[in-house]
Structure 1
Amino acid sequence: MPEFLMYEWLTKPLWLWFSFLAIVIVLLAFDLGVLHRKTKEIEVRESLILSALYIGLGVLFSGFVWWAFEGERAGASAAEAATMLSGWEAAKLYLTGFVVEKSLAMDNVFVIAMIFTYFAVPRMYQHRVLFWGILGVIVLRGIMIGLGATLISQYGWVLYIFAVFLILTGIKMWMTAEQEYDVSSSPVLKFIRRRFNVTDELHGEKFWVKKPDPKTGKLAWFMTPLFLALIMVEIVDVVFAVDSVPAIFAITTDPFIVYTSNIFAILGLRALYFALAALVHRFHYLKYALALLLVFIGSKIFLADLLGMEGGKFPANWSLGITFAILFGGIAYSLWKTRHEGASMRDVSDPM
């Protein structure tokens, strides 16, 4: 292996980061270049299969995490190995982060459905918006996680700020669970409509079109509603990342586990959207479970200190088990409470 690949970046060798990025690139190329090379409407059955595939790959990657961390530990001295995560512990932390991020992404799905409805984006064009949105997410999350890891490595007390923020966010989410996201009230959207040329109608799958400017009569570039939908999807992800990035750092501070669990959860967001957009009403009470989950994750740091847990950390087994219990309870209760609503609710994902 070339020597430069052994250089460390954010506590892990470059070859490990490049291996993960190669997996991401292959998955995106397969998605866009093979599965969705032509513009088409994605059916629920196909999205369910793809969602299951992405979840399966995300879970399987925990095996790679186990192998990578065990190998790193085996090559270290006895003193260094004593302070490093074991493969099993790293895999459990990765799975906990993956489950939490995937669950928070479900809340993201509900807001994206409202965005597509507001801009009247047909299902056949929604995949294009989500694909480019995911690329933006990969970059934005990488920047935010890199900054977070740098802050935590230099100022450990930042974790307690993250924890308090998560607890307050969970309380706020519980209190505002019945409120719906209002796309039209976005200051960014209002600013864009004032400052830039925007068409009122869609132009197929184009983000920009050239047409005569009504003021000057000259040809000018205009944004389409499809591009506005992409901007709003990116803004929503930034808002959600403010919650999800501190949440994963409260689970583990290892940058590799934080980033990989985050990105693997996001990679399946497109498939998850098409699988769940038609059933958003069936998960109405999931927000309450997510609120409890954020409060629990934020409280773990303080509980570990108060109870004098080993190493000052909440046990990975407990964290994973409680996370599953909260989410399973929220999903089960939602499905039970809305069991008679399936036939009466409209499909918000298909505005046309």
Structure 2
Amino acid sequence: MELTRSRTGLLAGISLLAVVFTVALTFATLQLPVVLGNWLSKYFPDIHPVIEPERVAEFMTVARPIGYACLAVIAILIVAGIVTGKRKLSILGSLAFFLPTFGYFFASMFFLAGLSILRVLFIPFWDPSANLMNFGDISYLAYMALVYPFWLGGIDIREVVAWVAIGIGLFIFVLGTIAWFYGKAQKRKTVDFWIYRHSRHPQYLGFIIWSYGVMLFAAQQMVPMGGSNPGASLPWLLTSLVIIWIALAEENKMRREDNAAYVQYTAHAPFMFPIPKFISTVATFPMKLVLKKNRPETGKEFLATFAVYATLLILLSSPFVLLDFPAGIGWSDWPGFVPGIPGPIMNL
């Protein structure tokens, strides 16, 4: 009885700690970019593209090759990590690829002013005529399914969805991290308790959900006059794929080091989160079709399956690009005003 009470108290304390960290990190997610943006604006001032086109052209002459070089380095890190099995390289590359998304949080006329200088990495994709950044817009389907019904009722939950995604993602991440450290302190090879009963990779799941919320906030930022906001769906999509592949690589390592126990654990705990078997079958079908087995095992197999899934998701996003959806100024204005009611829709 005392042992049960002790464990209950420990779990309650850990949950409370996770909530505190989640609130703090959620606040930091949206406030730190503002602080850093104000500081960086001293070194990368705002330039009006219409009034000062010469300065913009001069700046872009220097920034464009830097953007291509940075993107090349990140691509090399990600590919090298996947092929060689050195997961830290891929993690570093994927985080660096997603980092410029925070540049959307700094309001400016010039898309590289202040904190927006981080978006120099996106220059190779930042071509309004090609809409390359929108080739990840299939990612917005869940967002659309949540937002649109409320919009029909005259309620705007766009920011709410982004806030909730950030909060839930951080909460899962913190719970997973605490459970992992506790398990390692007990010298367990396989952490299979608490949140790990419901997800074999809660930290990665938390990051994916958190970054989804960040991506939504980026897409919702106002578009300056004469500017554009293509969003960051493609960086989020590719970053999430890299994270998933890193999780698969870690599972291969665990199967080798703690084969029997880990295989037994995987039989009961879902990969990321519980999903219906039918959806799991459909999601893994391309991988099984390419590899003729259930999971990749070598660096080349990981790279091949990554390429297949990236291509499929980009193709699924192509209707958004071909149909120029959403029309107008993009996701920052979608779904727009409530039908029949002038003015902006009501904030929740």
Q: Does the TM-score normalized on the shorter chain lie above 0.5?
A: no
Larger RCO: 1 or 2 (CA < 8 Å, sep 6+): 1
TM, length-normalised to structure 2: 0.27
TM, length-normalised to structure 1: 0.26
